[in-house]
Amino acid sequence: MSEFEPKIVAFLCKWCSSAGADLAGVSRLEYKPNVIPIRVMCSGRVDPLFVLKALKEGADGVLVSGCHPGDCHYVQGNMFARRRFIILKKLLEFVGIHPDRFQVSWVSASEGTKFTKVIDDVVESVKALGPQTKFKKVGIDE
Amino acid sequence: MKRNGVFVCNCGVNIAGTVYVDKVVDEIAHYPSVKHCEFYDYMCSDPGQKKIEDAIKEKNLDGIIVACCSPTLHEETFRSATERGGLNKYSCEIANIREQCSWVHKDREKATEKAKSIIRGIIEKVNLNEDLDPIKVPVTKRALVIGAGVSGIQSALDIADSGYEVLLVEKSPTIGGHMAQLSETFPTLDCSQCILTPKMVAVSRHPRIKLMTMSEVVDVKGYVGNFQVTIKEHPRYVTDDCNLCGDCVKVCPQVTVNEFDRGLTLRRAIYIPFPQAVPAKYVLDDQTCLGLNPLRCDKCEKACDVGAIDYDMQPKFLTEHFGSIVVATGYDLYDISQIPEYGYDTYEDVIDGLQFERLLSASGPTKGEVRRPSDGKVPKEVVFIKCVGSRDPESHHPYCSKICCMYTGKHAMLYKHHVPEGQAYVFYMDIRSAGKDYEEFIQRATEEDRVMYIRGRVSKIYREGEKIMVWGVDTIAGKKVEIAADLVVLATAIVPREETIELAKKLRIPMGPNNFLKEAHPKLRPVETLSAGIYLAGAAQAPKDIPETVAQGSGASSKVAGLLSADELTHEPTVVRIKVEECNGCGICVNICPYEALTLDKEKGVAVVNDVLCEGCGTCAAACPSGASQLRNLTDAQIAKMLKEML
Amino acid sequence: MNEIEAAIQDKVRSLLEAEKIQFFIGYEKGSDPIHSAPCFVKEPKDVERLVWDPFCAHNLVTFIIDEKKRELPRGEEPDSRPIGLLVKGCDSKAMIQLMSENKIAREEVYIIGVCCNGVIDSTKLEKILTEKSIDFEALAESDIQVDKDSVVIKYKKEKVSIAKKRVLLDKCPDCMSPNTLVYDDLLGDSVEPADSRDYTSVEEIEALSLDKRWEFWKKLLTRCIRCSACRNICPICYCKECAVDSAHQVITPKTTYQEKANKGTWIEQTVDLPENLFFHLTRMLHMAGRCINCGECERVCPMNIPLSLLTRKLEKEVKELFGYEPGKDVDAKPLMSTFEEDDPGDFIK
C-alpha cells in the first residue's frame, strides 16, 4: 500500500486565484497534484454547503481561495464569504472536524508563487491528518 | 440525456508530455453521456476547431467539453466553434488541464488522474448547462453630464464632438465651476479664465450640447442605456432677451454677499456672477429680492428696456432619456469654522485659498492688487498654512487634499510677484509636488521668489493691533515661531459637495468613507462607477488638480462615447435567476448586491433581478438560505454534481 | 384561574366580539395537567379554553408563518384583520427577527405579551414524577402549584416539592428577555432578566478534544431520524422549499427522466451520519445571525437530541465574532448580508 494521498477540492475565484493558478502554470512552478480545482466567479459564490458536500463526497480537505480584501472584482464578494466561512469553520470545529480540513486563502492573480505554496501547505497539513472518514459517506470509495 | 463530445488537446507536448492523453480518452469515452471522445495535437488550430464542428453534426452532439489550456485563453475560440457547429455557445465549457495540471506536475500518473477528475467535473457542468443568449439592451444615444465645472465642460465637449447629444446640467447660474474663480494656474501660471472661457463659449455654441443652468437632477430611474432623469430648472426671472446692459443692477435696492468673490464683495439681488458668465444673462436671486412682487418693488422691471424680467417664472420639471451619465459635481471647501484656533470666522484678514485667488485675480475685488480685506492695505507679511482640515484623522479629514501644496506655492509666488518687498511664509507638513513640472515650480518659489517654507504646524492665531499673530513651530529647527502677519491664508481641505451625497443616492452609486464618489475599481476602472453607464469626472471622486480633472473628463467621455456607439448593449447572460416559487423575500440578497441588481417586490414578497445590472458574481446565490437565487450555468445542482463526480 | 389568564380571556373576548382580529392563538390545557397546548380561538364562546400557566412552552409565532403560507381557498377573500397572538418574551425575539426579514408586518399581528417567570419542561417533570411514582395524569390542575422557586405537587394528601430550576426548560434560567419586546398589550409584572447568557454547556463541549467532540456528536446525530420536526417547528426556518431537499436543477422540456433522477442534490434520502450531520450543519449555517434560541427544535425532537447546544454555540459565536444579536432590532440588516472591514480573518492564509 502506497502512502496516503489526500484528495482535496479547491474553489478558486476566476479573477484572482484561478488567474494566480494559471500564472503558476505559465511559470512552470511545480506543486502537489492532490488538489482538484473548481473555478467559480467569486469566492462569494462559495456557499458553505459546497464545502460540506465536498467533505461528504469524500474530500479529505477543501480549500477556498479568492481575492485579497479590497481587490474583489465584484467589490466585496470575498468579504461576505469571509463571514460565512468563519461561522462554518467554528461549527465544523465544534462537531469535531479538524479545522485544517477546511482552509481559506487569499491569492491574487500575481501570486503564482503564493498559490504554489498554499497548495503544498494545504496538501501537507491534510496529509498529516490522514483520511477524512468522519464526514465521508459510507460506501463512497474508489 | 446530453450527448457530449470531449476533446482533449495535446497542446504539442505541453499537455501530452505530462498527461497520458490516450488513457484519459480511454476512460472518459466510457463516461455516461459522453458520445464522442478524442485527443488532438492542437485543438485551437483550424483543423482542431473543425473537428468540433464536424463531430457536432456527425454525432448529433449537444454538449462540448474541451480539455486544454486556461479558459481565459481559448474559451471564446471553442465557444465560437461550437456555435458554428450549430449549438448554443454556452453548451461548450473548458477543462483547464494545462495551466492547472500538466504544467505544474511531474508525476505523469497523478497528473493523468487529476486531469480525468477535472474533465469529469466539467462534463457534469455541461450536463446541467442551459442554452443562454446574450442579454441585449437598446441604447438611448444621448448623454447627461451633471455639473459644469471644467471636468463637466470637458466631458460634454468631448462627447458632443464624438457625435452624441449631451445635456449639461449645472446648479448655479453659470458654468465654469471653481476654475472660473482662480487667478493663475500652476505650474505654468496661465490665467485661469483665459484658458477656461473659450471652453465655456464652445459649450454654449456647440450644436449638440444643450445647457441647463440653475437646474438639478431630482430623480433617476432606469439603468445603463436607458436612464430616465427628471431635472428641475429653477426660475431665473430673466429671459433670453437680456442684452447684458446692466441697467437693472443700478436700480436694485437689495444687497447680499457675492458668492463668486467668496464674500469679499457684495452684489445686488439681480446680478451676473462674472462678466464672462455662460449663459450670458443676468439672474434674479429670489432669496434676496424684495419678493418678486411688482407692488413692493419693480425697479429692475422698469429699468429693463427689452422687458427681459419676468417675475412670474416658475420652476420647470422635465424628464429626459439618456444612455449614459457623467457625474462631475466637483468640490467644496471644508467649513473652517470647525477649526476655531485659526480664527477664520473672527478675523477678516484670515482667509481661505479661494478668497486669496479672488484677491490675486485681475477681475477680482481688488483688480488684482493684493490688499487685505480689513483695511485694504497691501500686506507685507503673509502666512500660508497648509493641511487645514486635511491629514488630520483625529479631528478633521484623514485624506490629503492633494492640490494645496501646489496652489499654496503658487499663492506665495504670485504674492511675491505682486509685492516683491513682502515676505511669504508657508507652514507645511510635507511638500507634495508630484506631477509634471510641479517640483520645479516649488523650487522656483523657494529659490527665485524666496518664499520661506517652515516645516511645522500653527497652533494659534490671534489679533494684536493691526497684526495677526501666528504661533507655530519649526520642527526642523526645533523652535517656536511667532510671526506678526498682515494676512493669513488657509489651505483648506477639499470636501465633496453636500448635494453630491443626495445625488449619489438618486443615482444609486456608492460613496467612499469620506463621501467622495467611489470608482468601480481604484486602479483599473477609475472613471466608472459600479452602476453600469454612470461615470465620474473631477473632484467629486477625490481631490484633483486641473490637468487630472480634465483628463478624467475626457476619460469619462470616451467611456460614454464607447457605450453610445453601439445600438444595443450586450451583457453576459450568466446572471442570477430568482426562482419565484422558492423565494421567501427575506431580502438578504438585496442587501448583498453591490450593483443594486436585486430589488424586493414587497407585494409579492420576492426578490427580482434586473438582468442588465447583474454582473453574475453569485454572492447572493451563496447567501440565499432557500436556494431560490441561482447563478445561471453555475447552479448549486451543478456544483453538487461536479463534486460528486470529481472526487 | 390566575390574573393573567383572566386578563387574556377578557382581552381576547373583546377583540373577537369587536371583530378586530381574525382569530387568536394562545394556549389551552393539554391532555394532562403538566402539558399545555396551542389553541386557536375563533369564537368569543371558546375564549374560556385559553390558559396561562408555566407549561405554555410552544413558540406560537411559528403558527403565523404557517398561516401566511396557507393558500387561500378558491373564492375566499383575504382577511386584512390581524391575527391575535400570545407571545412570551423569548418568542417575541422571533417576532422581531421575522419582521426584520420582511416575513411579518407589524400590523398583521395583534400581540398580547406576557411577562414570563420561566416555563416548565414537562418531560423533565414527568421523569421526576415517574421516579417518585406519582401518577401525574391523575392529578387535578389545582394539585400543581408553581411559585418562585419550587413546584409543589399535592398527591394523595402528600405534598411533594421540587426545586423549580430542576424542571425549567434549559432556555429559561439565563433568559435575557423574559418580557415581551414588541406587543399591543403587555400582561403581568415585569420580570428581571438574567445578567448574562450562560454558555457553560457549550464551553464544556469546546473543552473536549477534537475526537471526543466528534464521538459526542456522532452518538447524538446517529440517533437523528431526520423527521424534520426541528425544521418544521422553527419559526425562522420558513423557506417554502428547503435548500437541502433539492439543489435546484433547471428543468426544461428537454430534461429527461434520467437527468431528473440524476440531479445534483445536497442531501440524499438515506438516514445516516454524514447526511444527518449535513442537515444539521446546513440548518445552523442558514440560522447564523437569525436563530433566536427559542429552543423549540430541541423541545420537539423525538430523539432527544440536544439541538440547543448547536444553536447556543451559534449564538455565542455570532455575538463574539460580529457583536450581533438576532431578534433585537427590526431595522437591523441580516448578519450575512453585511460585513465589516475588520471582521475576523485570521483563519485566512
Q: Quick one: residue A58, left, alpha or beta (phi over 0 = left, psi -120 to 50 = alpha)?
A: left
Q: Which residue among C218, C318, C349 places its CB closest to the CB of A118?
A: C349
Spell out the long-range contacts of B521-527 with Cβ–Cβ below 8 A and sequence spacing 24 or more: B521/A73, B526/B552, B526/B555, B527/B552, B527/B555, B527/B556, B527/B559
Here the ipTM equals 0.96
Interface mutation vs chain B, best among C108, C248, C266, C324, most B CBs within 10 Å: C248
Any idea which residue has 511664509 for its cell?
Answer: B425
C259: pLDDT confidence band, cut at 50, 70 and 90?
Answer: low
Which pLDDT value is given to residue B612?
Answer: 86
Cβ within 8 Å, pair A98-C210: yes
Cβ within 8 Å, pair B587-C246: no
Interface of B with A (CB under 8 A): 70-72, 96, 98-101, 103-107, 110-111, 113-114, 117-118, 121, 520-521, 530, 574, 592, 594, 615-619, 621-623, 631, 634, 636, 639-640, 642-644, 646-647
A142: pLDDT confidence band, cut at 50, 70 and 90?
Answer: very low
Q: Which residue among A36, A75, A81 places its CB closest to the CB of B646?
A: A36
Backbone phi and psi for residue B308, each to the nearest 5 degrees, phi listed first: -90, 0
Report pLDDT digits (tens) over B76-98: 999 999 999 999 999 999 999 99
Strand partners, C150: C163
The whole-angstrom distance between C73's CA and the closest CA on chain B is 18
- Between B179-193, B215-229, B504-518, C316-330, the lowest mean confidence (pLDDT) is in B504-518
Please count the other Cβ atoms lying within 10 Å of the Cβ belonging to residue C222.
14
Report pLDDT digits (tens) over C210-222: 999 999 999 999 9
Cβ within 8 Å, pair A33-B618: no
**What strands, in cross-sheet order, belong to the sheet with B209-212?**
B209-212, B165-169, B142-146, B324-327, B534-536
| B142-177+205-230+315-325+503-564 shares its CATH topology with B331-495 | yes
Cβ within 8 Å, pair C250-B635: yes
Within the 81-140 window of chain A, which residues sit less than 8 Å (CB to CB) from chain C? 82-99, 103-106, 118, 121, 134-138
Secondary structure string (H, E, C) spanning C276-303: HHHHHHHHHHHHCCCCCCCCHHHHHCCC
Q: Is B421 exposed, middle or buried (0-12, 13-18, 19+ CB in 10 A)?
A: exposed
Q: Which of B585, B480, A9, B24 shows the shortest CA–CA distance to C239?
A: B585
Flag whether residue A68 sits within 8 Å of chain C, measured between CB atoms.
no
* Cα gap A100→A63, rounded to integer Å: 9
What percent of chain C has pLDDT above 90? 67
Report pLDDT digits (tens) over B262-300: 999 999 999 999 999 999 999 999 999 987 888 889 899
Q: Where are the domains of chain C?
A: 3-120+176-187, 200-337
The whole-angstrom distance between C266's CA and the closest CA on chain B is 6
How many separate helices (H) and strands (E) can be counted in chain A? 4, 4
Contacts of A99 in chain C (CB under 8 A): 347
State the fold for domain B572-631: Alpha-Beta Plaits (3.30.70)
Peptide bond into B253 cis (omega under 30): no
pLDDT, averaged across chain B: 93
Cβ within 8 Å, pair A40-B644: no
B406: pLDDT confidence band, cut at 50, 70 and 90?
Answer: very high
Q: Residue C340: closest CA among chain A residues belongs to which residue?
A: A79
Cβ within 8 Å, pair B622-A30: no
Q: CB pairs below 8 Å between A and C: how many?
A: 107
Q: Where are the domains of chain B?
A: 4-127, 142-177+205-230+315-325+503-564, 247-303, 331-495, 572-631
B582: pLDDT confidence band, cut at 50, 70 and 90?
Answer: confident
**pLDDT over 60 at A141, yes or no:** no
* Cα gap B61→B453, rounded to integer Å: 77
Q: Is C61 exposed, middle or buried (0-12, 13-18, 19+ CB in 10 A)?
A: buried
Q: Angle, to 10 degrees, between the axis of helix A17-26 and the axis of helix A112-129?
A: 100
| C169: Cα within 13 Å, side-chain hemisphere | 27
Cβ within 8 Å, pair A95-C217: yes
Q: Which of B612, C200, C84, C347 shows the shortest CA–CA distance to A89?
A: C347
Virtual torsion, Cα B355, B360, B365, B368, nearest 10 deg: 180
State the fold for domain B331-495: FAD/NAD(P)-binding domain (3.50.50)
The subunits that touch chain A, with at least 3 C-beta pairs less than 8 Å apart, are: B, C
Q: Is B599 helix (H, G, I), strand (E, B) or coil?
A: strand
Assess contact for B99 and A22: CB atoms under 8 A: yes
Peptide bond into B279 cis (omega under 30): yes
Flag whether residue A64 sits within 8 Å of chain B, measured between CB atoms.
no
Q: Residue A74: closest CA among chain B residues belongs to which residue?
A: B617
Q: Which CATH class is domain B4-127?
A: alpha beta
Instruction: Indicate whether this model's pTM tops 0.80.
Output: no
Report pLDDT digits (tens) over B31-40: 999 999 999 9
Q: Is B630 helix (H, G, I), strand (E, B) or coil?
A: strand
Secondary structure string (H, E, C) spanning B411-446: HHHHHHHHCCCCEEEEEECCCCCCCCCHHHHHHHHH
Report pLDDT digits (tens) over C185-234: 999 999 999 999 999 999 999 999 999 999 999 999 999 999 999 999 99
How many separate helices (H) and strands (E) can be counted in chain C? 12, 9
Assess contact for B497 and B541: CB atoms under 8 A: no
State the fold for domain B142-177+205-230+315-325+503-564: FAD/NAD(P)-binding domain (3.50.50)
